[in-house]
Amino acid sequence: MNVVEVNGLGLHGANRAVVTDVSLALAPGRILGLAGPSGAGKTSLAHAVIGYLRPGLTVATGSVRVCGFDPFTASGSRAVRGSRVGYLGQDPASGLNPARRIGSQLAEALRRRPGLSDPRATVAEAAESVRLPADLLRRYPHELSGGQAQRAALAAALVGRPELLILDEPTSGLDVTLRRQVTELLCGLGAGTSVLLVSHDTEVLRHVAHDVLRMAAGRLVASAGPVAVPAPVTVPAPAVVPAPAAVSAPATVPAPAVVPAPMTVSVPAAACGSSPASRSDTLLRAAGIVAGYGRATVLDGVDLHVDPGQCVAVVGDSGSGKSTLGRCLAGLQAPWRGQIAVRGRAVPWPAGRRGADRVAVCYVPQDSRSALNPREPVAVALTRAGRAASRAGRQAADLATLLDLVGLPGLKDRYPGQLSGGERERVNLARALATCGDVLICDEVTASLDEQSERSVLDTLDRLRHELGLGIVLITHSPVVAARADATHHLAEGRLT
Amino acid sequence: MKSLRVGLIVLLTAVVVFGLLGPWLPVGSATAPAGRPFAPPGPGHPFGTDFLGRDMLARLADGGRMMLLQAIGATVAGSVVGISVGTLTGLSTTPVTRVMLRVVDGLSALPPLLVLLVLATGTPGNEVVVAVAIAAVSIPFSVRAVHAATRDVVRQPYVAIARARGDGPLRIVRYDVLPNILEVVGAEAGIRFIAAAQFAATAGFLGLGASAPAANWGRLVRENLPGLDLNPAALLVPAALLVALAVAVTAFVDRFAAGPATLARVVPR
């Protein structure tokens, strides 16, 4: 019997079809990949498998069977959820209970597996399997980095040994090494667990999935069939680690890792012809930033400067403090020590006290779900940001231009709950752009985007910095993204090199 | 589920309209005797008569308005104060807001009935004072509930981002806080309205506000308790009106406060 059978499923929203006529089957022990661009309906389909429909969606046609149960009935969803199916959603930080420690949440997930002799050891084992350091089990979700939260949520999905694992972008926030380890882990699950793997990451899909289905605009477009490298149980070849130079988009000229004079970097042909802003003063200069949480020091004397039109990438291991640095720069978090100067003027924390400079540094957060007000349509969120810019004496861009810039025309009336993960990330980006800042801190903004959307967002950022002299700090784990930057800094042990 | 909710809202409208318009309904005198005491329902008296032989229907029609107006007035006043003070103290922790919270907490320590008695006996027969007293004793609960809900929202990253770009407290309350605490505010106002209605009924029973012959649904329950065997309708109908009011108000509040894309349906069919 197939673990999952979806027959002619159609999901309809208020005025459009989100998923149309999708049929698929997943046999025991198999790993089925689901690929496709942002907003194609991948997550809606994965949700339907556990019988969840986001508000406003209805099942128009077809049926879903999971282990023989209909997850849309009350008894079916009880039989399926938690025990037979493990689920890892997008934006895993929002999916963890903020009021409980990670270890307790893993133990909670274990309750579905009665008769264990040593639950504590099983929890530790699950944490180890996703390379989550044991001391993090004592922490609360908000004390974890994005990548650590993702691994904790993955451990919670795995620990109950479900028959079916539904993983929605399980590797989006992970760097190359961790991604390889998670890939190995998935390959080693064995015959007892089937996996429905939603991912935009073709590398991961290629090495893990037995079959890959591709979705576009709510339909399955082509079944790739068994893929070229069907070696799921063996450890994948080291080719998972992409060589950055080989993968980088051809339009860009990756600068050497030495800090270059920003204005002399050759401008990509794709960027507009106008000359970069002639201001030569440093937009943002951070000196000796020391920050941490409780008694733990995360940043230990970080110096960074961003010139007009310059793009600086900050890379580093999961949990190394990349987001903390971003939040300090943007004024969302006050560091223990250190100074920040915007255009040569020292500015205080928090950002709201920076006078006309308060919108100078904008932060695009990593967890795109919690960064958007759930009761506010996209248009209102962007208009508000624009008004904040006007009050600070800047020229606000209009709504349609902003949405076009991030490739989301026609979404202005949607609420965040009606957007896909990739769309939410781009709305966050558009909102930051709406404040017309001088420096944009992008924290993993392309992590849950497919290659094409990622390229178009990065192209947009390139264009903006060349046209408007915007400075950009790209916080990323991806060598492909970092290759776009003029300079790449590594954050390790609290220091930037 | 939906038809049930629609039914409850129809019920609420009916109860409130009957209560508010009752004194103008052509149902006869609420004070003149119309038969023997505790007569069971019969022709001309659909709910029978009360302990003095007055027509129950006329008593019911007469007894709703002042009680409802007191409850509505006290609830609205409580919500206005609760939302302003609650969001303000939830949004920023300064010495001023801390003192405000402590004052509110002190207010909640006063026994509600004592406040009602002291205020109402100072100005006998004044119904407005009764409403003011009800509002005063309910404000601390409103402030505390709104305060706690606001604290939750203020911790969200989207508020941090709005603050960072310089949105002032009023904008944050208007766009970020209010839409996200609407359900709490509504539910809290609903439960406070029910308490206020009960309190207004109690005031009527104690003879505060307008004195004896004036009807009040709460007072009708007490007045007709001895006649439970003879004419149960005289007791059950006003009690049922109070219950219907309570249930229908909460259903209405749920309907009103459910925003877009918030109610996740766990089992859709």
- Residue A65 or residue A350, greater confidence: A65
DSSP letter, residue B166: T
Looking at residue B150, its pLDDT comes to: 93
Q: Closest Cα partner for A315 from A188, A105, A474? A: A474
Contact B166 A73 (CB under 8 A): no
Chain center to CA of A108: 26
Adjacent-strand bridge partners of A139: none
Peptide bond between residue A114 and the one before it cis (omega within 30 degrees of 0):
no
Q: b or e along B218-245 (b: 16 or more beta carbons within 10 Å of the residue's beta carbon)? A: bbbbbbbeebeebbbbbbebbeebbeeb
Domain A4-221 adopts which CATH fold? Rossmann fold (3.40.50)
Q: What percent of chain A has pLDDT over 70?
A: 87
CB contact under 8 A, A352 and B164: yes
Do A332 and B267 count as a contact with CB atoms less than 8 A apart?
no
Per-residue tokens: B231: 């004419």
**Calpha distance A475→A465 (Å, rounded):** 16
Q: Does A72 reach chain B within 8 Å, measured CB to CB? A: yes
Cβ neighbourhood burial of B16 (10 Å; 0-12, 13-18, 19+): middle
A interface test, pick of B150, B161, B171, B182 with most A CB neighbours within 10 Å? B161
High-pLDDT (> 70) share of chain B, %: 92
Q: Which A-chain residues 308-367 have CB contacts (< 8 A) with chain B? A: 330-332, 350-352, 358-359, 362-363, 365, 367
- The more confident residue out of B73 and A316 is B73
Higher pLDDT, A32 or B246: A32
Residue A376 to residue B176, Cβ atoms within 8 A: yes
Give the model's pLDDT for residue B73.
92
Residue of A nearest to B268 (CA): A72
A114, pLDDT greater than 80 = no
Is the CB of A59 less than 8 angstroms away from the CB of B269? yes
Task: Give Dmax (Cα) for chain A.
Answer: 70
In this predicted structure, which of A38-47, A234-243, A453-462, B158-167 has the lowest mean pLDDT? A234-243
Q: Do the chains contact at A373 and B263, CB–CB below 8 Å?
A: no
Across residues A232-240, what is the average pLDDT?
38
Write out pLDDT tens, residues A173-187.
Answer: 777 788 888 888 888
User: Interior CA angle at A76 toward A71 and A80, to 5°?
Assistant: 75
Which residues in chain A are contacts of B152 at CB distance < 8 A?
none
Return the higher-pLDDT residue of A148 and A251.
Answer: A148
Q: What pLDDT score does B212 carry?
A: 63
For chain A, the domains span 4-221, 284-496
pLDDT of residue A53: 86
Residues of B within 8 A of A370 (CB-CB) are 156-158
Residue with the larger pLDDT of the pair B146 and A244: B146
* Three-state SS at B33: strand
State how far residue A251 is from chain B, nearest Cα, in angstroms.
33
Tokens matching residue B257? 């406060």
Q: Which residues of B touch A (CB under 8 A)?
A: 156-158, 160-167, 171, 175-176, 179-180, 182, 259-269
| φ/ψ of residue B171, rounded to 5 | -65, -40
For chain A, the average pLDDT equals 80
Q: Residue B53: which residues within 8 A CB-CB, separation 6 or more?
A: B33, B34, B35, B36, B37, B39
A284-496: CATH topology is Rossmann fold (3.40.50)
User: What's the confidence (pLDDT) of residue A117?
Assistant: 72
> Chain B contacts of A363, Cβ < 8 Å?
161, 164
Let me know the angle formed at the C-alpha of A422 by A269 and A167, rounded to the nearest 5 degrees. Answer: 130
Q: Which residues in chain B touch residue A380, judged by CB atoms under 8 angstroms apart?
A: 175
| pLDDT per residue as tens digits for the range A23-34 | 999 988 889 999
The chain A residue lying nearest B153, using CA atoms, is A373
Which residues partner with A223 through β-bridges? A213
Contacts of A59 (CB under 8 A, 6+ apart): A9, A10, A11, A48, A53, A72, B268, B269
Highest-scoring range by mean pLDDT, A69-73, A234-238, B31-35:
A69-73
Rounded to whole angstroms, the Cα distance separating B11 from B83 reads 28
Rounded-to-integer distance, Cα B255 and Cα A455, Å: 44
What pLDDT, on the 0 to 100 scale, is given for residue B214? 74
Other beta carbons less than 10 A from residue A68's beta carbon: 13
Q: What does chain B come to in residues?
A: 269
**CA-based nearest residue to A171, from A202, A138, A211:** A202
Region of A331 (left: φ > 0; alpha: ψ -120 to 50; beta: rest) is: left
Tell me the shortest Cα–Cα distance from B25 to chain A, in angstroms. 44
Write the pLDDT tens digit of every residue in A283-341. Answer: 888 888 898 888 888 888 889 888 888 899 998 887 888 888 988 888 888 889 888 88
Q: Do the chains contact at A77 and B267, CB–CB below 8 Å?
A: yes
State whether A358 and B259 contact (CB < 8 Å): no
The CA distance from B130 to A96, in Å, is 48
Of B19, B27, B107, nearest to B67 by C-alpha is: B19
Confidence at residue B52, expressed as pLDDT on a 0 to 100 scale: 85
Q: In angstroms, what is the C-alpha Rg of chain A? A: 23
Q: How far is A46 from chain B (nearest CA, A)?
A: 15
Specify the amino acid at residue A417: G
Structural tokens at position A236? 């994948």
Whether residue A385 and residue B165 make contact (CB cut-off 8 A), yes or no, is yes
- Overall average pLDDT of the A472-480 stretch: 87
Q: Which of A414, A409, A421, A411 has its CA nearest to residue A370?
A: A421
Task: Judge contact between A457 and A406, C-beta under 8 A.
Answer: yes
CA distance A443 to A322: 8
Among A231-235, A357-361, B151-155, B228-232, the least confident range: A231-235
HSE at residue B189, side-chain half, CA atoms within 13 A, is 24
Give yes or no for A374 touching B (CB within 8 A): yes
Q: Which residue of chain A has the CA closest to B169?
A: A352
> Which of B53, B54, B201, B231 shows the shortest CA–CA distance to B130?
B201
Shortest distance between the Cα of A388 and any Cα of chain B, in A, equals 6
Lowest mean pLDDT among A91-105, A237-251, A412-426, B22-36: A237-251
The closest of A59, A32, A33, A31 to A44, measured between CA atoms, is A59
Mean pLDDT calculated for residue range B95-108: 89
Distance from CA of B152 to the nearest CA of A (A): 12
Interatomic CA distance for residues A483 and A115, integer angstroms? 50
Q: Does A419 touch chain B (CB under 8 A)?
A: no
Contact A445, A406 (CB under 8 A): no
**Number of Cα atoms under 13 Å in the Cβ half of residue B237:** 24
Supply the pLDDT for residue A275: 36
Decide if A74 contacts B267 (C-beta within 8 A).
Answer: yes
- Residues A130, A126: Cα–Cα separation, whole Å: 7
A137 pLDDT higher than 50: yes
Q: What is the pLDDT of residue B78?
A: 92
Q: Which residues contact B212 (CB under 8 A, 6 or more apart)?
A: none
**Residue A159: which residues within 8 A CB-CB, separation 6 or more?**
A106, A109, A110, A113, A122, A123, A126
Is A371 an 8 Å CB contact of chain B?
A: yes
Size of interface A-B (CB pairs under 8 A): 100
Do A299 and A328 contact (CB within 8 A), yes or no? yes
Cα-based angle A360, A361, A362 (whole degrees, multiple of 5): 115
Cα separation, A150 vs B226, in Å, equals: 67
Indicate yes or no: CB of B161 within 8 angstroms of CB of A352. Answer: no
Give the per-residue pLDDT at A258.
Answer: 36
Judge whether B49 and B234 are in contact, CB under 8 Å.
Answer: yes
CB B219 within 8 A of CB B241: no
**What pLDDT is stored for residue B257 in this prediction?**
62
Rounded Cα–Cα distance for residues B208 and A401 (Å): 64
Residue A248 has pLDDT above 50, yes or no: no
Residue contact A53–B268, C-beta within 8 A: yes
